[in-house]
Structure 1
Amino acid sequence: MNAMPLFGKKYDPRVTQKYSIKETLGRGAFSEVVKAQDRETGTQYAIKIIDKKQLKGKEEALQNEIEVLRKVSHPNIVKLYEMYDDKSKVYLVMELVCGGELFDRIVEKGTYTEKDASELIAQILGGVNYLHSQGIVHRDLKPENLLCYSKEDSKIMISDFGLSKIASEPETMPAMQTACGTPGYVAPEVLRRQPYNQAVDCWSIGVIAYILLCGYPPFYDEEDSELFKQIMKGTYEFDSPYWDDISDSAKNFITHLMELDPKKRYNCEQALKHPWICGGMARTTNIHSTVTEQIHKTRARCNWKRVGNVVVAMQKMKLLMGQVHKEHDNDTTKSDAAEDKTTTQGATGGPP
């Protein structure tokens, strides 16, 4: 049965003449994604339908996504095939990716090993390395934006380029200063309000790798201001017993990506050459039960800090960053002993 059109309005006849609209795959505040079939070839696609009226004030994110998707072509990046535009809607005809979010797939698996995690991270690194070679910084890498190609194929597909930055010349990527991203995955230099570059994506991949190996995030606090302080200090642990069966090579890999100094942080090419990725150092012990148990607990606790409105998230981040820096400036007048006491009171990442 065909899906009900977004907000009860009809679809553009140019779209319905070429595609048979099937069921709705998902809906957001200003868009819906439907499954569609090419009437001539039978090929299935996903069509993202954006309501322009609802999108008002957020046009830049849509323009970014379209610009990136038109520019790129990589096995681990969702493809954009064509676009339709009318007075009320924008239609993006995209590759159908229906395997679900990465972490959901891990939970559904019967077995899951460190080697599996290594292979997943290698795919992400490959896709992001390609983006960087094209002068594109994603700036919002997180589990929700990593999809599995299908139920049968666990190929990783990177999506959602609304916050991406594109350089006119890939070789001369300019420093960026816009505060954007998702709390928990954002790099410390962004929170410090320092100029930053593509190294922010590598930090985010480090956070994702950490979660893939234990099921919980390296940084966590109910208050984002406290979370940001943790990230800026780079304070995280490989807690026992959750990390006892994880190799030293995996921990070494993570520390190179979650390096506070972006100049010392591994880039994608360096990370792809790490022994944990390409040297057979990843263990094959089944860690499925431990990881999935922690994923369930973490989701119940903080729901991965999901944010539906990117603009609101960015504004909130700017305000919180100002608050964090103000508190930090006040803290510098305190004694070293008082400062030590303050840093040990906040809840760090760790298991739920």
Structure 2
Amino acid sequence: MPLFKRRDGATPAPNATIREKYDFRDVLGTGAFSKVFLAESKSEAGQMYAVKCIDKKALKGKEESLENEIKVLRKLRHNNIVQLFDTYDEKQFVYLVMELVTGGELFDRIVAKGSYTEQDASNLIRQVLEAVAFMHDNGVVHRDLKPENLLYYNQDDDSKIMISDFGLSKTEDSGVMATACGTPGYVAPEVLQQKPYGKAVDVWSIGVIAYILLCGYPPFYDESDANLFAQIIKGEYEFDAPYWDQISDSAKDFISHLMCCDPEMRFTCQAALAHPWISGNTAYTHDIHGTVAVHLKKSLAKRNWKKAYNAAAAIRQLQMLRLSSNSNRLQKQASQQQPTPPQPTPAFHA
């Protein structure tokens, strides 16, 4: 029996194959367990799609994760979310027929632009907030919002932005979220603290992205993940001079409400959309491309805060962070002659 049903709920006919409906063209990308192909529909001449081909052998043990991703994508029909159109479960591979997005990654496009303003950044963040608000209204938490997952729909100057990659997303009705997951640099404090969390983690990540959009470098950075996580937990970031001197107080206020360590006090997507920097006219219109592009180029070249997520390394760093924290607490409690309960070690999941 096929693992996955079509989007209309029907199970594909046993003999129906994806290659009967699509002509496969170029390889658009390659991942650890999959390839993405450019494909043309045989029934709609000229209609192109991105087909993700997932090796079932590599998928073994991860079927539930893929089923969850498909379930989430079927719930989300929004102008700024990459759409899943169909699925095919065949002998060796699972195929996901996705909306074709050709405009490239967010930061690469900004670097290539001739000019770029705070107002441009506001417009980008507004689109992301609208899409994430829609997700949250439908009980979905993305859990891995980052620049690499924000793509331009096409090459047009006024192209919309699209949210992609729902591999770590989860629905609220699937239970309490407490698993440490995400990407170092963009993950919220409560995730690192191993507390139950919810939609607010996505808002924190949007705050980090907004910060980078306005200066070109991340609010939290360290070669050591343990030190990076310690910065995030404490909410240690600055609006450094001279780079932030040209940015409006409204933008700084907006970011401060998104990157708020207390998830109960953090803005919701709806509150963020109502902020004057998004809904009003407080975003400055002077060109900041020169400053932002210089820093983005350096960051993109280093790939240190944009690198692929390394789960094993992150686990080691988190253990070090937890052990250091426990050691300090043990010393304090020993001086007060109070017993210390054992603490769980957090672990990230890629």
Normalising by structure 1, report the TM-score: 0.86
Residue 157 of structure 1: SS of its match in structure 2? strand
Listed as ranges, the matches of 1:116-195 within 5 Å are 116-152=120-156, 153-168=158-173, 175-195=176-196
* 2: CA distance, partners of 1:118 / 1:155: 13
- Could you tell me which runs of 5 or more consecutive residues in structure 2 were left unpaired when the two chains were aligned: 1-14, 333-350
Contact 1:84 1:92 in 2 (8 A): yes
Residue 209 of structure 1: SS of its match in structure 2? helix
AA matched with 2:282: M
* Aligned match of 2:30: 27
Contact 1:216 1:295 in 2 (8 A): yes
AA matched with 1:132: H
Over 3 Å counting, the alpha-carbon distance change for 1:300 and 1:187 in structure 2 is same
* Aligned match of 2:348: none
Contact 1:149 1:155 in 2 (8 A): yes
* 2: CA distance, partners of 1:192 / 1:27: 34
Contact 1:214 1:290 in 2 (8 A): yes
Contact 2:221 2:305 in 1 (8 A): no
Contact 1:113 1:284 in 2 (8 A): yes
Residue 304 of structure 1: SS of its match in structure 2? coil
1:55 deviates by 2.5
* 2: CA distance, partners of 1:64 / 1:293: 39
* 2: CA distance, partners of 1:224 / 1:211: 19
1:319 deviates by 4.1
Contact 1:179 1:317 in 2 (8 A): no
1:131 deviates by 0.4
Corresponding residue to 1:324 among 309, 321, 324? 321
Residue 26 of structure 2: SS of its match in structure 1? strand
Corresponding residue to 2:56 among 36, 52, 59? 52
Matching of residue 84 in structure 1 with residue 79 in structure 2 = no
* 2: CA distance, partners of 1:101 / 1:60: 28
Over 3 Å counting, the alpha-carbon distance change for 1:303 and 1:222 in structure 2 is closer
Q: Deviations over 1:268-320 (max 9, x none)?
A: 00000000001110001101111111011112334434225xxx52x544443
AA matched with 1:295: L
Contact 1:30 1:50 in 2 (8 A): yes
Listed as ranges, the matches of 1:224-263 within 5 Å are 224-263=225-264
Contact 2:224 2:317 in 1 (8 A): no
Listed as ranges, the matches of 1:327-346 within 5 Å are 327-332=324-329, 333=331
- Higher helix content, 1 or 2: 1
Q: Deviations over 1:102-121 (max 9, x none)?
A: 11111111110000000000
- Could you tell me which runs of 5 or more consecutive residues in structure 1 were left unpaired when the two chains were aligned: 1-11, 335-352
AA matched with 1:252: D
* Aligned match of 1:338: none
AA matched with 2:50: A
Contact 1:179 1:318 in 2 (8 A): no
Q: Deviations over 1:86-127 (max 9, x none)?
A: 121011111110111111111111110000000000000000
* Aligned match of 1:220: 221
Alignment identity in percent?
Answer: 59
Contact 1:52 1:90 in 2 (8 A): yes
* Aligned match of 2:79: 75
Contact 2:118 2:286 in 1 (8 A): yes
> Alignment length, in residue pairs?
315
Contact 1:224 1:320 in 2 (8 A): yes
* 2: CA distance, partners of 1:147 / 1:302: 18
1:175 deviates by 3.7
1:197 deviates by 1.0
* 1: CA distance, partners of 2:235 / 2:328: 17
Contact 1:180 1:317 in 2 (8 A): no
* 1: CA distance, partners of 2:135 / 2:222: 31
